[in-house]
DNA sequence: TTGAAAGCGCTAACAG
DNA sequence: CTGTTAGCGCTTTCAA
């Protein structure tokens, strides 16, 4: 069995209350007693019982992180940021990945409930169900990288419109006017934001994005292959591909090589995230870079500040922290 | 405030004990009462208080996973396997990543203590300190992919010696006899196992591995670059590079391109893990493939079986589940 | 300063 | 079958 406060109290010849006070550095205890108790606790190898503390304090000192797309390096970078911040404030980060489906997403959130004081999520589903669930649980939520349209929450992410603008401006400048977009899902706010940014730049030049060049569902290589073949079969063909993630862009590079389409000669390619793999694909990939670690760190900070704000935690208005992306230009776009 | 058993008891006009029994499907309760209580609990939106249950049951119903190298896709694949198995048995998976240093590794384990019933770890440090810590915590531990030499535990991973044999045999067959090895750290058992397998195959042909072609510390691109330049400066040069991970192998391909060394013409390259990026690098990469999802799943299974084994949990001997790797041959080795 | 006592929400004997 | 009681280990009044 583990050491408890009672064990220490007995050995020290004081009450349990005294030990509790001493170990949690309360003021109403004699410095000498505190020192003695702390010393003893250390010797006895005391470790606080988390469940008991949680039960009395109604605070778990942990934050829950629920994320899709575990295989995307940008996601793990953001996670490291969250963990770094949480650890600094002595909070545990409890992570759960899911496959992007609403059922798994919901299930993970439910499993975490009662073990965490709040959530950082990158919602993969814009369903009402998810928003309802989170409202019912009534814990602080921070959205990271992707807002939840059905619910107002704190937000940390990058400015995807600006990302779209940067990419579009760059490609236009390189003489590409027929840009296709490979996105994740039509209902995804960040996809829409990127498109909005791109459209803005196009409009500025009196151009527009062709609807039929927007293709969804690029979370698997097979889908991306199919999308690319469809695009290549069109006349005129797109002369540039913008992908919502680096992984998708790498699939595009691989597929174009297979189809013997010259990059960037015939088709320029750009991705999003600028992860370590952007430099390692068939050729160096142009990519929109986000400060992923910082995005995660900030997400955790927003959550923790809300948790530690004793006063009107619930009342405080939602905050949005938006980071500016930049463009890493490499060979794939000439 | 949340709904408690007492709230339900009051509304149903029964005792708290009755509600507890009904909701946990105990037998000593009238079926009708149970149904009524369950119905009511559902309507009232009851959710069990995890801390209270943990305190009474001395069981958290969660497993802790502590891993280094979050950016390696093989790691996240294994993690998905763990989660899948845990979720099936209604256990929460609480993940913590660390940077590979002993301090962070220890800290993460300590933070998880009290919130989990056991650990799945891939030890990044073979220090005595880590073994001592785990022994002191006295919770079941399963090592995944990497054993802990200072401590006997359950193990799930692949047969790295066989991986080394497969790679060496393949490269020899392609006429390469000067194979360099880029490993993670000299004290890492899986590195040593791979080398052992390679040496075996070499010895079979009356050949041996040159010590000076074994280079450690390839967790960053800079280190790998330095190692490669050192190798390329040697006479004779190695004619093949075996890397402990795909990411390292991708750095090698990129570096060789930069140095205008033909692959596989002058130097063949092979990696380890066969992740999705193996096909997407400068050229398709030959790689030793492990069933990562299964390795994770099995690791969780070992842990959960130990946790659920009411009888001599502590007594049961340690088990090792070893998966056979296979070789995915691609262009980088001709 | 210190300690006694109440209680967080739940389960597990043990009576009725 | 159902209810009463006694904790699990901790924090927090409130007295002493």
Angle of the A160-173 helix axis to the A189-204 helix axis, nearest 10: 40
Q: What does the DSSP assignment read for B70-123?
A: TT-HHHHHHHHHHHHHHHHTT-EEEEEEE-S-HHHHHHHHHHHBTTBS-EEE--
Give the closest residue to A124 by CA, choosing from A207, A76, A184.
Answer: A184
Whether residues B51 and A47 touch (CB distance < 8 A) is answered with: no
Q: Does A70 touch chain B (CB under 8 A)?
A: yes
Walking along chain B (334 residues) 10 residues at a time, the average pLDDT comes out as 90 92 88 91 94 96 91 89 95 92 94 97 94 94 95 96 98 96 94 97 93 94 98 95 96 98 98 94 98 97 90 74 98 94
Report chain A residues whose CB lies below 8 A from the CB of B77.
Answer: 71
d(CA B22, CA B33): 8
- Shortest distance between the Cα of A101 and any Cα of chain B, in A, equals 14
- Shortest distance between the Cα of B111 and any Cα of chain A, in A, equals 6
Q: Does A222 touch chain B (CB under 8 A)?
A: no
Which CA-bearing residue is nearest the C1' of D3? B15
User: Does residue A29 surpass a pLDDT of 90?
Assistant: no
Mean pLDDT of all residues in A138-143: 96
Whether residues A107 and B97 touch (CB distance < 8 A) is answered with: no
Q: How far is CA A88 from the centre of its chain?
A: 19
Here the tokens at position B121 are 């770890």
Give the closest residue to A22 by CA, choosing from A5, A10, A7.
Answer: A5
The 3-state DSSP composition of chain B as helix, strand, coil percent (nearest 5) reads 45, 15, 35
What sign for the dihedral angle of Cα A127, A133, A136, A137?
negative
Query: Do A287 and A278 meet the contact criterion of CB atoms below 8 Å apart?
Result: yes
Which pLDDT belongs to residue A311?
A: 57
Which strands sit side by side in the sheet containing A92-98, from one edge to the other? A320-323, A154-158, A141-144, A119-121, A62-68, A92-98, B92-98, B62-68, B119-121, B141-144, B154-158, B320-323
Query: Do B92 and A115 meet the contact criterion of CB atoms below 8 Å apart?
Result: yes
Give the closest residue to B165 by CA, choosing from B137, B118, B201, B130.
Answer: B201
Average pLDDT of every residue of chain A:
94
Residues by CB within 7 A of strand D: list them: A 1-2, 4-6, 16-17, 20-21, 23-24, 26, 46, 48-49, 52-53, 55-57; B 13-18, 21, 28-31, 33, 52, 55-56
User: Does residue A290 surpass a pLDDT of 60?
Assistant: yes
Report chain A residues whose CB lies below 8 A from the CB of B93.
Answer: 96
Report chain B residues whose CB lies below 8 A from the CB of A52.
Answer: 51, 55
Query: Do A113 and B62 meet the contact criterion of CB atoms below 8 Å apart?
Result: no
Q: For the CA atoms of A232, A172, A321, A87, what is the dihedral angle to 10 degrees?
A: 60
CA of B16 to C1' of C13 (A): 15
d(CA A22, CA A24): 6
d(CA B207, CA B219): 29
Residue of B60, B65, B111, B332 to mutate for A, most A C-beta atoms under 10 A: B111
CA of B160 to C1' of C9 (A): 49
Report chain A residues whose CB lies below 8 A from the CB of B52.
Answer: 51, 55
A68 to chain B: closest CA residue:
B80
Count of CB atoms within 10 A of residue B249's CB? Answer: 29
B104 to chain A: closest CA residue:
A87
Query: Hey, which of A32-41, A225-234, B300-309 has the most confident mean pLDDT?
Result: A225-234
Which pLDDT belongs to residue B72?
A: 82
Find the nucleotide nearest A46 (Cα to C1′): D9
Mean pLDDT of all residues in A45-61: 95
Q: What part of B 231-290 touches A (C-beta under 8 Å)? A: 247, 250-251, 253-254, 276-277, 279-283
The pairing of strands A92-98 and B240-243 is unpaired
A113 to chain B: closest CA residue:
B50
Find the nucleotide nearest A51 (Cα to C1′): D9
Of A125-129, A247-251, B256-260, least confident by mean pLDDT is A125-129
Whether residues B92 and A96 touch (CB distance < 8 A) is answered with: yes
Whether residues A80 and B96 touch (CB distance < 8 A) is answered with: no
d(CA A170, CA A174): 6
- Shortest distance between the Cα of A42 and any Cα of chain B, in A, equals 14
Find the nucleotide nearest B47 (Cα to C1′): C9
């Amino acid at each position: 069995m583990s050491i408890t406060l009672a064990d220490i109290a007995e050995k020290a010849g004081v009450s349990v209350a005294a030990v509790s006070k001493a170990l949690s550095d309360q003021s109403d205890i004699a410095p000498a007693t505190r020192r003695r108790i702390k010393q003893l606790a250390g010797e006895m190898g005391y470790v606080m019982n988390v469940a008991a503390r949680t039960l009395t304090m109604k605070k778990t000192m942990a934050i829950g992180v629920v994320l899709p797309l575990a295989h995307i390096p940008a996601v793990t970078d953001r996670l490291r940021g969250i963990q770094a911040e949480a650890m600094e404030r002595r909070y545990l980060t409890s992570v759960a990945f899911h496959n992007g489906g609403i059922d798994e997403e919901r299930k993970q959130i439910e499993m975490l409930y009662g073990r965490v004081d709040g959530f950082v999520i990158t919602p993969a589903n814009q369903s009402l169900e998810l928003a309802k669930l989170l409202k019912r649980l009534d814990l602080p939520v921070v959205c990271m990288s992707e807002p939840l349209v059905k619910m107002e929450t704190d937000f940390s992410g990058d400015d995807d419109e600006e990302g779209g603008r940067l990419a579009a401006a760059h490609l236009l400048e390189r003489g590409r006017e027929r840009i296709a977009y490979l996105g994740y899902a039509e209902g995804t706010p960040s996809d829409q934001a990127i498109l909005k940014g791109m459209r803005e730049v196009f409009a500025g030049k009196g151009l527009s994005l062709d609807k039929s060049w927007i293709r969804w569902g690029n979370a698997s290589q097979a889908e991306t292959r199919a999308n690319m073949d469809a695009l290549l079969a069109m006349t005129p063909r797109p002369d540039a591909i913008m992908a919502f993630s680096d992984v998708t862009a790498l699939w595009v590079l691989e597929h174009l090589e297979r189809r013997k389409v010259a990059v960037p000669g015939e088709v320029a390619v750009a991705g999003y995230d600028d992860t370590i793999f952007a430099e390692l694909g068939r050729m160096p990939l142009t990519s929109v870079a986000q400060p992923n670690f910082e995005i995660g760190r900030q997400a955790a900070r927003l959550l923790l500040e809300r948790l530690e704000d004793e006063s009107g935690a619930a009342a405080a208005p939602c905050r949005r922290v938006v980071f500016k992306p930049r463009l890493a230009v490499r060979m794939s776009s000439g």
